[in-house]
């Protein structure tokens, strides 16, 4: 991205602000759950009856977990699916995306698994996505022994995002939206302390969204993930928004021209309230979740409740 070379001195000392990876992952899982399963666990995805809409049980999951057990997870979700091998065969999928190393991670997953089975009396399959930066941390089980006997052996399925670092080209050309999701998360890890590199990589990933021939709705969903995990300091955000404008002029499209408004959401003042409502309405029409729209516009619950009744 040579266009940014003259900008390096200005951003050398800037720090990237905290990400919104939790909201970004939650949105991606809600919008693209079948794609998530097909990307990470294709053998399980092939056994699910996708003609029956998966049932999200997040509220029920919250009741069974405790605030003090949050650890470093980005998001966890509980989904009930129906399998192809008969109407009576239901399965609970507990998906957890973990952002950092946690010593008691396997034990915590075991506790959740036990509570879920006790509550529902259904098979529970735990799927862990490790988005941390420790290549050697690869937990897959929790074992408990007493008096020389193994009394518990709980196993879960684990995928490590760092394993995809050598497959970036394949990720960027994949027809599965989680190719972009994984590429963006890896780029976020790589550029944590480097605002200039993050600006360059975020711009390059945004260009990929336009060059894959995606619909406007898909571009917006994936842009929301990209924007959530690859946050930029304000100075770089302005430069990034300029890049988007130039890119949309080049491609003769207007997919995420609201990106400039979204990128400046933290600077919205009361006088811009009507414009914020307009933007929120557009984002809701494009299929973004309520949580995503709330983060993008800083609107309150009352305003959003009114918009939902309209849309």
Q: What is the pLDDT of residue 75?
A: 78
pLDDT of 134 higher than 90: yes
Q: What is the pLDDT of residue 304?
A: 67
Q: Is 33-162 CATH 3.30.300?
A: yes
Q: In whole angstroms, what is the distance from residue 186 CA to residue 161 CA?
A: 7
Residues 221-242 have a mean pLDDT of 89
Q: CA quadruple 237, 220, 56, 186: dihedral positive or negative?
A: negative
Q: CA quadruple 63, 69, 75, 80: dihedral positive or negative?
A: negative
Among 125-129, 137-141, 175-179, 254-258, name the one with the lowest average pLDDT: 254-258
pLDDT digits (tens, 9 = 90+) for 184-196: 999 999 998 899 9
Q: What is the pLDDT of residue 268?
A: 41
pLDDT of 269 higher than 50: no
First to last CA, the chain: 40
Q: What is the pLDDT of residue 296?
A: 65
Q: What is the CB neighbour count within 10 angstroms for residue 53? A: 9
Question: In the numeric block, which tokens belong to residue 228?
Answer: 């959530």
pLDDT digits (tens, 9 = 90+) for 4-47: 444 454 555 567 777 788 888 989 999 999 999 999 999 999 99
Residues 73-81 have a mean pLDDT of 83
pLDDT of 270 higher than 90: no
Residues 70-81 have a mean pLDDT of 76
- Residue spans in the chain of domains classed CATH 3.30.300: 33-162
Mean pLDDT taken over the chain: 82
How many residues does this entry show for the chain? 311
pLDDT digits (tens, 9 = 90+) for 233-242: 888 888 998 8
Residue 250's contacts (CB-CB under 8 Å, 6 or more residues apart) are none
Q: In whole angstroms, what is the distance from residue 71 CA to residue 185 CA?
A: 19
pLDDT of 145 higher than 90: no
Of the pLDDT bands very low, low, confident and very high (cuts 50, 70, 90), residue 63 is: confident
Q: What is the pLDDT of residue 264?
A: 46
Q: What is the pLDDT of residue 92?
A: 80
pLDDT of 204 higher than 70: yes
pLDDT-above-90 percentage for the chain: 41
Q: What is the pLDDT of residue 16?
A: 74
pLDDT of 272 higher than 60: no
């Amino acid at each position: 991205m040579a266009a940014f070379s003259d900008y390096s001195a200005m951003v050398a000392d800037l720090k990237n602000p905290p990400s919104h990876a939790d909201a970004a992952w939650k949105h991606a899982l809600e919008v693209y759950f079948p794609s998530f399963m097909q990307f990470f666990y294709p053998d399980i995805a092939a056994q699910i009856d996708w003609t029956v809409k998966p049932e999200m049980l997040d509220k029920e999951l919250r009741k069974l977990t405790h605030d003090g057990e949050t650890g470093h997870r980005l998001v966890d979700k509980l989904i009930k699916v129906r399998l192809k091998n008969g109407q009576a065969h239901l399965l609970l999928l507990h998906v957890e995306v973990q952002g950092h190393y946690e010593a008691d991670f396997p034990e915590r997953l075991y506790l959740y698994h036990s509570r879920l089975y006790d509550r529902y009396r259904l098979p529970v399959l735990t799927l862990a996505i490790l988005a941390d930066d420790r290549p050697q941390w690869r937990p897959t089980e929790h074992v408990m022994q007493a008096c020389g006997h193994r009394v518990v052996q709980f196993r879960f399925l684990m995928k490590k995002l760092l394993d995809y670092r050598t497959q970036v080209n394949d990720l960027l050309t994949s027809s599965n939206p989680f190719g972009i999701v994984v590429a963006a998360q890896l780029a976020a890890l790589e550029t944590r302390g480097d605002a200039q590199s993050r600006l360059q990589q975020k711009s390059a990933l945004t260009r990929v969204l336009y060059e894959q021939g995606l619909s406007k709705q898909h571009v917006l969903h994936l842009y929301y993930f990209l924007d959530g995990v690859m946050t930029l300091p304000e100075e770089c955000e302005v430069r990034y928004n300029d890049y988007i404008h130039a890119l949309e002029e080049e491609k003769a499209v207007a997919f995420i021209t609201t990106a400039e408004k979204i990128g400046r959401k933290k600077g919205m003042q009361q006088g811009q309230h009507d414009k914020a409502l307009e933007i929120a309405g557009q984002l809701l029409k494009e299929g973004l979740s309520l949580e995503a729209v709330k983060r993008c516009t800083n609107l309150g619950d009352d305003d959003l409740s009114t918009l939902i009744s309209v849309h």
